[in-house]
Amino acid sequence: MRYSSLLQLTVALAAFSISVFAADSRYCMNKNVIKAKDFTLQESADSSHLAALAKHFEGTGKNLSVSAVLDSANRDLSKGHPPVGSGSPSEAWAWKSGDYKTTKWRPQGITSSADAFGKGDWNNHKAWIVSWYQTGDSVRVSFVDRKTNKYRHALLVYPSADDDFKSITIHAGGIMWYGNLLYVVDTNNGIRAFDLDNIWEVDIADGVGKNEKGYSADGYRYVLPQIRDSPDTLLVGEFVRDGEVDKNRDPVPIRLVKYQLDSTTRRLRTDDKGLATASWAHCVDILKVQGAVSYDDKFYLSRSNGRNPKAGDLFTWKEGKTAKEYPGWFMAGNEDLSYNPVRKEYYTVTEYDGGRYILSYKA
């Protein structure tokens, strides 16, 4: 595959293990091309309890596949009619009323089955996965079947014991479906990976984890367990506001970084010490970047302007060239981006209650 999908960091690259020199914001003020080798991710296997829990759910017949979750989708998307910018989306899908209006949850990241293997589908399903966060509480993802326009939520959890799991409290700003893994950005701890071959069915009840009758996940039927922290590439970007400075009162840098992925294992390509080193890094001068994707050396970046009537902007860029801006391309609240090379289209989600859509654009 020749494309990259964004995992967005919402603050400076504090989640990465980087050298002091690369972390110095003044570095970006002098040159745009920065040293990729200074950006590293340390793979940390955090799955000591996963095998025991997986064995339990397999033994009870409640370890399910992505296809089974899609087939059990219980909520409907409806054709939406959002305020149209110059981008004029080719498709607009609104969430079910409760998800469309809730202030409890906010959608953030989007990825598609085209990211998974590049052929456009997953076991004959064309699908999206969308991440939602609940501040200081938990993260869920929506499995969306593009054929039926139905979706189902699942809660992200981490195995906390051989017989228990807990909810995860991160922003989940960027996600990418790659093979049997779902990569999710953790602003404070790097990148987490979740096992799509282990989706567990639990009782629909309050509470998260083990209870006197079995397991529950705050009313959700499925949970998706974390397995670890941490020429296919993974593109990571930064969200920086106008005037934002570091502790030394220096401007905060805005950087894009790429990591290589192993198309065989579907994991980050690491050395024998489990260290993933960036293959490319560059400073950019685009504030409030929410999503980015690259394909054939061309980058697409989205910027949000809050609830501003001017909505969100699209930038296209090639290294060594000046970025081209399309003001007001997106409606307000635009977030992550994902590109589908099979259908030649890209996607975003919008986050504000009363205006939540999955939007599709022809590239």
Give the separation between CA 102 and CA 359, rounded to whole angstroms: 19
For the cut 70, the answer to whether the pLDDT of residue 231 exceeds it is: no
Structure confidence at residue 215 as a pLDDT band (50, 70, 90): very high
pLDDT in tens, 100-113: 999 999 999 999 99
pLDDT in tens, 61-82: 999 999 999 999 999 999 998 8
In a domain, 22, yes or no: no
In a domain, 20, yes or no: no
Q: Closest by alpha carbon to 110, among 355, 307, 351?
A: 351
Give the separation between CA 348 and CA 58, rounded to whole angstroms: 35
pLDDT score, position 233: 67
pLDDT score, position 320: 81
Q: Where are the beta strands (DSSP E) in 90-198?
A: 91-94, 106-112, 127-134, 138-145, 150-161, 164-167, 175-178, 181-186, 190-195
Mean pLDDT to the nearest integer, 160-180: 89
CA distances from 159 to 78, 96, 162, 165, 201 (A): 35, 30, 7, 4, 15
Give the domain CATH number at 223. Answer: 2.120.10
In a domain, 3, yes or no: no
pLDDT in tens, 269-301: 888 888 888 888 888 878 888 888 888 888 898
Domain that holds residue 106: 36-362
DSSP classification of residue 43 = -
Contact between 62 and 55 (Cβ < 8 Å): no
CB proximity list for 280: less than 8 A, separation 6 or greater: 36, 233, 257, 258
CA distances from 298 to 38, 114, 191, 231, 341 (A): 24, 18, 24, 15, 13
In a domain, 312, yes or no: yes
In a domain, 14, yes or no: no
Give the separation between CA 302 and CA 291, rounded to whole angstroms: 5
Which one has a higher pLDDT value, 245 or 129? 129
In a domain, 267, yes or no: yes
For the cut 90, the answer to whether the pLDDT of residue 99 exceeds it is: yes
In a domain, 11, yes or no: no
In a domain, 1, yes or no: no
pLDDT score, position 21: 31
Beta bridge partners of 155: 140, 223
Q: Closest by alpha carbon to 62, among 75, 76, 74, 72?
A: 72
Total Cβ atoms within 10 A of residue 279: 16
How many domains does one find in the chain? 1
Structure confidence at residue 9 as a pLDDT band (50, 70, 90): very low
Q: Is 344 in a helix, a strand, or coil?
A: coil
CA distances from 175 to 4, 54, 183 (A): 12, 23, 5
Mean pLDDT to the nearest integer, 323-340: 91
